[in-house]
Amino acid sequence: MSAFPDLYAFVVELRPLGNGPAPRPQGQGAQALFLDLVRQVAPDVSEALHADAQSKPYTVGILPSRRRDVVLLRVSLLHSDLFQPFVQALLRQMPGGELRLGQARLALGDVIGTPPPQGHPWAGFDSFADLYARVTPAHTVTLEFASATAIGQGSRADGRQRLNLLPTPEAIFPSLGRRWNDLAPQDLTFDMEQVRNASLDTMVSHHRIESTDISLGKGPQKGFVGIVAYELPADPIQARILTTLADAALFLGVGIKTARGMGLCRRMSNAG
Amino acid sequence: MSAFPDLYAFVVELRPLGNGPAPRPQGQGAQALFLDLVRQVAPDVSEALHADAQSKPYTVGILPSRRRDVVLLRVSLLHSDLFQPFVQALLRQMPGGELRLGQARLALGDVIGTPPPQGHPWAGFDSFADLYARVTPAHTVTLEFASATAIGQGSRADGRQRLNLLPTPEAIFPSLGRRWNDLAPQDLTFDMEQVRNASLDTMVSHHRIESTDISLGKGPQKGFVGIVAYELPADPIQARILTTLADAALFLGVGIKTARGMGLCRRMSNAG
């Protein structure tokens, strides 16, 4: 690591308490919980996070899990200023603190901030600068979409929002590119025309996906989950751009409402 | 039915014989079997079918099945001239005739030519004219892709064929439209610009799909299978065009190599 980390991904274990209602592992409750945590130690930061920024400097979601005794809250922070308040809030809660996810009461468990083999596939830390400098252009990148993901694509003739529920390269990579450009240091931004051209020369080579609904308070929101392999362009510069964006997906998330549970995404290693 | 049927879809049951190799339910063997059948009674027609037409007036594939004691050969005929030779060939085989699918020996079983409830979801008959005249514009159409499906989309920068393995509306409906226009009577053809515009205003609302391989002799060919629901444009003329094409998919097939096992597709009824 040469640059100071400005990208963090945490997996926070939450254990349902008592005999209240079971936590519903979707929805806006996760965002409220995250903002509550931060508010406790840094009201000013919390205020800034609430503000309706174009591209929020964090993502919050619930990881899919087969276990019923634990909810895995996933938080990523995309600005180094957020790290201290968030960790402080977690430390203040430990041990035995109680949190709320919707109607459910939860106890804070482990907080995992490191990647495998010690940590968790959805945890890690990095920096925009290191990620950019370190990347090796790949022939193929495989992305896992773990929570409902949808890409906004303007409006239909009838005025309704047009959502893309298929992970086409020309939807996914420009979405990542826009978010990277919104949040990365100025000197590391990508030429969006180049990102679009690279995505147009990318093919989907394998996939297993399905549409799903996520509850966000105002009724269900559609998205897709699953695994998609992209065969990147032969051109090494194009491949490098898209590989960088694939690596950054762990922190950035993909598509709409990544602060409210949608668009959890990571590049899978060759080992899975 | 007012117009004479020129669209037929048959499901031909084939039962593996003796202790030869088990039939591999994919690949070019199905096409060879179909052409052999026709050659026996109508060498001239068979010759015409072999010819490298832009859009072959038939499709051949193997339906997915959990049963090991029967192979379901699916044949569609898109020109009334083909009906007589094909049925004649089948009659000549019955009963007890032997056929070959690759290395496997097969006995001809039932030939199903009618739709449910009596028949089979992949069987039926219709005409371009009736289909065109009868259609009721739908809000949503759901397509089942039952064998590896891929849409050709020109070439990549490195010269390799660019294949679309995702059922985007703008790939699926223009593909059906081109095939309809190649085979339907002249006065029933669609304006392709209109088909494209209608597909651009169509959204995928549900799906469950995965990529798969089909063996076509020269190594595996990639495609996808699964179920996709399309929300058609509110405009009734656009909805009508796309509904017609969805209904015709049962006979036309979708995408590349529909004469060799790929692109088996049908519109699902609301009942599934």
pLDDT for the residue A55: 82
- Considering only CB atoms, B222 lies closest to which of A163, A205, A211, namely A205
Return all residues near A83 (Cβ < 8 A) that are at least 6 apart. A5, A8, A77
CB contact under 8 A, A208 and B207: no
Helix (H) or strand (E) holding B182: helix B169-183
Please write the tens of the pLDDT for every residue from B115-160.
999 999 999 999 999 999 999 999 999 999 999 999 998 887 777 7
Higher local confidence (pLDDT), A186 or A48: A186
User: Closest approach of chain B CAs to the CA of A126, in angstroms?
Assistant: 32
pLDDT for the residue B5: 80
Please write the tens of the pLDDT for every residue from B42-90.
777 777 777 667 788 999 999 988 887 888 999 999 988 888 888 877 7
pLDDT for the residue B272: 42
Please answer whether residues A225 and A146 qualify as being in contact, where contact means their C-beta atoms are separated by less than 8 angstroms: yes
Helix/strand number for chain B, H first, E second: 7, 12
Which fold does the domain A133-268 belong to in CATH?
Alpha-Beta Plaits (3.30.70)
pLDDT for the residue A195: 98
Interface residue A222 vs chain B (CB under 8 A): yes
Q: Above 70 in pLDDT, residue B206? A: yes
pLDDT for the residue A171: 96
Q: What's the token pair of residue B143?
A: 């397509």
CB contact under 8 A, B166 and A205: no
Preferred mutation among B143, B210, B222 to probe A, highest tally of A CBs within 10 A: B210
pLDDT for the residue B94: 59
Query: Domain spans of chain A?
Result: 7-124, 133-268
Higher local confidence (pLDDT), B201 or B54: B201
Region A14-23: what's the mean pLDDT?
Answer: 74
Residue A36 pLDDT grade (very low, low, confident, very high; cuts 50, 70, 90): confident
Residue B197 pLDDT grade (very low, low, confident, very high; cuts 50, 70, 90): very high
CB contact under 8 A, A157 and B222: no
Q: How far apart are CA A68 and CA A257, in angstroms?
A: 25
Contacts with B, A 130-159, CB within 8 Å: 156-158
Q: How far apart are CA A29 and CA A103, in angstroms?
A: 9
∠ at Cα A262 (A110, A34), nearest 5°?
40
pLDDT > 70 fraction of chain A, expressed in percent and rounded = 90
Kindly list the distances between the CA atom of residue A210 and the CA atoms of A9, A207, A235, B170, in Å, as whole numbers in the listed order: 25, 10, 31, 19
Region B1-9: what's the mean pLDDT?
Answer: 78
The β-bridge partners of A206 are A229
Which of B21-25, B95-99, B207-211 ranks highest by mean pLDDT? B207-211
Contacts of A209 in chain B (CB under 8 A): 207-210
pLDDT for the residue B153: 87
Q: Above 70 in pLDDT, residue B93? A: no
Class of CATH domain B7-124 = alpha beta
pLDDT for the residue B167: 98
Sign of CA dihedral A86, A89, A95, A96: negative
CB contact under 8 A, B157 and A208: no
Contacts of B209 in chain A (CB under 8 A): 207-210
Find, in chain A, the residue whose alpha carbon is nearest to that of B167. Answer: A166
CB contact under 8 A, B156 and A206: no
pLDDT for the residue B190: 98
Q: How far apart are CA A268 and CA A226, in angstroms?
A: 12
Q: Please indicate whether the domains covering B7-124 and B131-267 agree at the CATH topology level.
A: yes
Contacts of A234 in chain B (CB under 8 A): 156-158
The β-bridge partners of B104 are B101
CB contact under 8 A, B166 and A168: yes
Helix/strand number for chain A, H first, E second: 7, 12
Q: Above 60 in pLDDT, residue A272? A: no
Concatenate the DSSP letters of all residues of A231-266 into one string.
Answer: E--SSHHHHHHHHHHHHHHHHH--SS-TTTT---EE
- Domain at B131-267: CATH code: 3.30.70.1900
Mean pLDDT of chain A: 87
CB contact under 8 A, A209 and B205: no
Please write the tens of the pLDDT for every residue from B15-28.
888 766 666 656 66
Q: Above 80 in pLDDT, residue A211? A: yes
pLDDT for the residue A24: 63
Q: How far apart are CA A18 and CA B200, in angstroms?
A: 51
pLDDT for the residue B210: 98
Q: Above 70 in pLDDT, residue A68? A: yes
Displacement of CA B209 from its chain's centroid (Å): 18
A151 residue type, one letter: I
Q: How far apart are CA A68 and CA A31, in angstroms?
A: 21
CB contact under 8 A, A207 and B166: yes
CB contact under 8 A, A234 and B157: yes
Kindly list the distances between the CA atom of residue A37 and the CA atoms of A32, A87, A120, A240, in Å, as whole numbers in the listed order: 9, 10, 22, 37
